[in-house]
Amino acid sequence: MDQPLNKRQRILTRKSALWNERSSWITHWREISDYQQPRAGRFVVTDRNRGDKRANHILDNTAVFGARTLAAGLMSGITSPARPWFRLEIKNKDLMESGPVKAWLHDSAVLLRAIFASSNTYRSLHTIYEELGLFGTGCSIVLPDFDNVIHHYPLTVGEYALATNSKGEVDTVCREFQLTVGQMVEQFGRNQCSQAVRNLFDRGAYDSWVDVVHMIEPRKQRDYTKRDARNMRFASCYLEPGKDNWDQFLSESGFNRFPALAPRWVVTGNDVYGTSPGMECLGDVKQLQHQQLRKGQAIDYQVNPPLQVPTKYKEASKARLPGGVFYVDSMGQSQGVRSAFEVQLNLQHLMLDIQDVRERIRSAYYADLFLMLANDNRSGITATEVAERHEEKLLMLGPVLERLHNELLSPLIDTAFDYAARAGILPEAPPELEGMELSVEFISVLAQAQRAVTTQGMDRLLGTVSQMAAAKPEVLDKIDFDQVVDEYGEAYGVSPKVIVPDDQVAAIRQQRAAALQAQQAAATAPQVAESAKTASEIDTGNLQDVMNGLMGYNTPSAQMIGQ
């Protein structure tokens, strides 16, 4: 009867299953690495710190620059360190208009962006974008850090394997890599290491390399009454894949939130790994390298062709170098030195085809979109044209952008927020936010381009209403201009501190109305006093006789009787 597997054996068994599931992708990834980015990818555990020449397949670097342009374009268009690219919100829009709530959400977002700037977040994001463009899948493990709140450990394709849950969300990362003996003792402690590692450490072999497996996966069995690291939702286990210390981990801990970021470019069906622009243009890249090789060979044949030479000139080979001279006797035409065969390649046609292939590669990497403004030398480009061309960029990248928001950026912000809250560095929240669920809204250049349609609709509406108001001013009552300002500010990603909240606007207007009323009262006070003086000087007796006469009575007043 088979013995049940212990936890360590189970992890190694699952690691083998994940490696087997991933195996069909390895050949494709290797080709992409060979032809487009030789330094990316680690397909053997010992494949590290190799400075040997690897770009043997690259004769034209169009794809290399295409992948680099895509990564830089995504970096500047989605997560630019130079400008705000997200903000925090709550679903209660009425509460969002509260001044203290707006201020807290703004200050918290500013703090998170400061955390990203001080840590290695942006460097890791750039690596992820490049891996996504080349291999369709990126991965980085985000762990808490005492100095910078968070720290990223970016991975490259080939050194990790993924698995998904029933919703198709990545919830498992298994990594196989190497650490030196010194690094292992520093990270895990001497007593947690195997006897072989302890022996190496005692002999001073600190730079010897040792294989390590790291598994992050949902914890199937845990005690829900406990809150320690070994009973959290996700298990994190380090182990040596050797056979000694078979029941011992280097480290066993856990996380309440999945600590890895594993975005995919495009996912087909139930696939775990994504497809990429690098895969789509791999055929064009190979064709381009082949054409450049043949072009070079054709030029060599034309410039330095193989020759048919009489045997008596066998020793005169050095004289064929530029400037060389050798003397021969007169001979017939058929006995002269001539090309072995003629090569007359039309390089113009070949160059046109090469240019066509290059454009296809650039288009696959969206380089034409990201560089369209940089390469446009025309003057007088209007803001409307710029906005429309950004919409074209968004049309091409819209689905990918949504996936990056869901699989990369939202989890990154949530993770940083949790660690910042645990560190106690978030600003004190107003009582109105108690029990409220926070959400993230992206306000990057590309994200705002998605909402450009909304602002264009409002622009057209306001323009039409303005024309109608010239004939019928009452139509302006149909427009809530305060809400229009809020909608524009939200669409343009304006800081909430720039737009005054509704409650403060109401108070300002109330004060303004009271001040206007007091001013009007002060202006009418002299007129009231003058009217009172005039009224006091009225001859009431004569006035009464006049009134009696108008009403048909002839009774004189007392004043007239006295006369």
pLDDT surpasses 60 at 540: no
> Strands 139-145 and 260-261, how do they pair?
antiparallel
**Could you tell me which residue, 532 or 412, shows the higher pLDDT?**
412
User: Which of 291, 379, 299, 282 shows the shortest CA–CA distance to 344?
Assistant: 299
Query: Residue 204 — left, alpha, or beta (φ > 0 → left; ψ -120 to 50 → alpha)?
Result: left
Q: Is 154 helix (H, G, I), strand (E, B) or coil?
A: strand
The average pLDDT across 319-346 equals: 59
| Minimum mean pLDDT range among 25-29, 122-126, 201-205, 334-338 | 334-338
CB 242 within 8 A of CB 104: no
- Over the stretch 225-243, which tens digit does the pLDDT of each residue have? 888 888 899 999 999 987 6
pTM score of the predicted model: 0.78
Q: Which class for 412: exposed (0-12), middle (13-18), buried (19 or more C-beta within 10 A)? A: buried
Residue 236 structure tokens? 């994190």
| Minimum mean pLDDT range among 39-53, 90-104, 244-258, 389-403 | 389-403
| Minimum mean pLDDT range among 34-48, 126-140, 468-482, 527-541 | 527-541
pLDDT surpasses 80 at 23: yes
Question: Average model confidence (pLDDT) for the chain?
Answer: 81
* pLDDT classification of 528: cutoffs 50, 70, 90: low
The predicted pLDDT at position 550 comes to 47
Distance CA 66, CA 358 (A): 10
Residue 52 structure tokens? 């040997």
Strand ordering across the sheet containing 160-164: 160-164, 170-180, 209-218, 234-239, 251-255
Query: If you count DSSP H runs as helices and E runs as strands, how many of each does the chain have, helices first?
Result: 19, 12
